[in-house]
Amino acid sequence: MTYESTVPGELHDPALKAASSVPEPGAVTIVVPTFNESVNIRELLHRITESVPSRLPCEVVFVDDSTDDTPEVIRDAARDCPYPVTVLHRETPVGGLGGAVVEGIRAASSDWIVVMDGDLQHPPSLVPELVAAGEREHAGLVVASRYIKGGSRAGLAGGYRIAVSRGATLLTKTLFPRRLHGISDPMSGFFAIRRSAVTADVLKPLGYKILLEMAVRARPRHVTEVPFVFQDRFAGESKSTAQEGIRFLRHLAGLRTASPVARMVVFGLIGATGFLPNLAALWALTSVGMHYLPAEIVANQFGVAWNFLLIEHLCFRDRRQHRRWWDRSGRFALLANADLVLRIPLIALFVGQFGMSVLGATALALVTTFVLRFAGTEALVYLPRKGGRAGNTTAAETGRHAGSRTARRSS
């Protein structure tokens, strides 16, 4: 990652600024994630300069993943801005827009952090009101909402985008009714959060819905909202794509399965769907003349493969880095097939030793092997190995962070 900073007429070192003094209450860091937004930068900084009163200590942090000249445009435009402007250019955009916001939070040195897009669909004139509402209500999070009185989604172009936005909002509020209580617009990318109310290390962003990530993983106790009118894009093209939609659904699945109980429920539902490829393969194999016993053994592997692929993406997506793909798939297959071997002795034990009926013994054996398989999958397939790759990854990450700090001091 490249760290560059500018203030009017001279370079600005954010490390020195952070060390100088504690910011005044109400000081604000505006974090703007950018991807090829060079045509909007000058107007954005101009409107921030006009909107944020001089009595409010302010800094602007751009976290840039661009492949165009956006960093150079920011450096040039910052010379006319009365506030310190920092550019953090990421060569590898880990986590997408959400990951960029997390980097901006780490770099912020103010009491309040305001997150907004760089395309001017989020009006900079609302920044002082977001901070003021947070101070007035003693809130940890202030959401700019399109869906409360005074707000509007006018800048959403076309019925398709409006339908997608409303559908995503309804889906998220249905999946997380407690965490999103009091947040009418969890899809908003415009909000203010107290620096003391969020720990960047607990966030695992994927894609552009960082507010949802914060609300579910690290929601402050007190949340308030202010209305805002979603503006038309000033210039350039929208970055919303079908791929981002898929990342959003994957992100939802990861958030919903964050707790062990939720993971077990999803694990069970996925296991139930495995009967379909199993039965289809069994029918195909017996149709060509294979005996039903070996056919069932082979067909079971189709169900195992189906379950493994879904569990990889819906249950344990954020833990896949701990082992290689072939290691995970091999361990999962062994556990899934061991389930068959263990079930018959368990049924015999329950019937012979405890006098249970065959039906009751079979049901209890299914539940027992399911719980054991879930625990085994979590412990033996997806938990970090002691002294293994997970430790090496952490060390590598530590080295990268140290390198970033060094880059800051020398910029």
Bridge partners, 314 (sequence order): none
Task: Measure the CA–CA gap between 82 and 79, rounded to whole angstroms.
Answer: 8
What pLDDT is stored for residue 10 in this prediction? 39
Average pLDDT over the chain, rounded to whole?
77
What pLDDT is stored for residue 7 in this prediction? 45
351 CB contacts (<8 Å, ≥6 apart)? 357, 358, 361
The mean per-residue pLDDT over the stretch 328-346 comes to 83
Residue whose entry in the numeric block shows the structure tokens 């402007």: 85
Task: Measure the CA–CA gap between 58 and 192, rounded to whole angstroms.
Answer: 13
228 CB contacts (<8 Å, ≥6 apart)? 122, 123, 126, 144, 145, 146, 151, 190
Of the candidate ranges 103-117, 162-176, 179-193, 281-295, the one whose mean pLDDT is the lowest: 162-176
pTM over 0.85: no
Q: What are 56-80's pLDDT values in tens digits?
A: 788 999 999 888 889 999 999 998 8
Residue 243 reports pLDDT greater than 60: yes
What pLDDT is stored for residue 236 in this prediction? 53
The mean per-residue pLDDT over the stretch 358-370 comes to 79
How deeply is 395 buried, as exposed, middle or buried, from its count of CB atoms within 10 A (0-12, 13-18, 19+)? exposed
More confident site: 262 or 238:
262
Task: Sheet containing 2-7: give its strands across.
Answer: 10-11, 2-7, 85-89, 58-64, 28-34, 112-115, 191-194, 141-145, 223-227
Task: Measure the CA–CA gap between 77 and 398, rounded to whole angstroms.
Answer: 33
What pLDDT is stored for residue 404 in this prediction? 38
H/E element, 32:
strand 28-34
The mean per-residue pLDDT over the stretch 272-289 comes to 84
More confident site: 52 or 142:
142
Q: Are strands 58-64 and 28-34 parallel, antiparallel or unpaired?
A: parallel
What pLDDT is stored for residue 19 in this prediction? 37
Which spans in 108-205 are helix H? 127-137, 158-175
Task: Measure the CA–CA gap between 271 and 274, rounded to whole angstroms.
Answer: 5
More confident site: 397 or 152:
152
Please give the sequence-ordered ranges of beta strands (E in DSSP) within 214-276, or none if there are none: 223-227
What pLDDT is stored for residue 400 in this prediction? 39
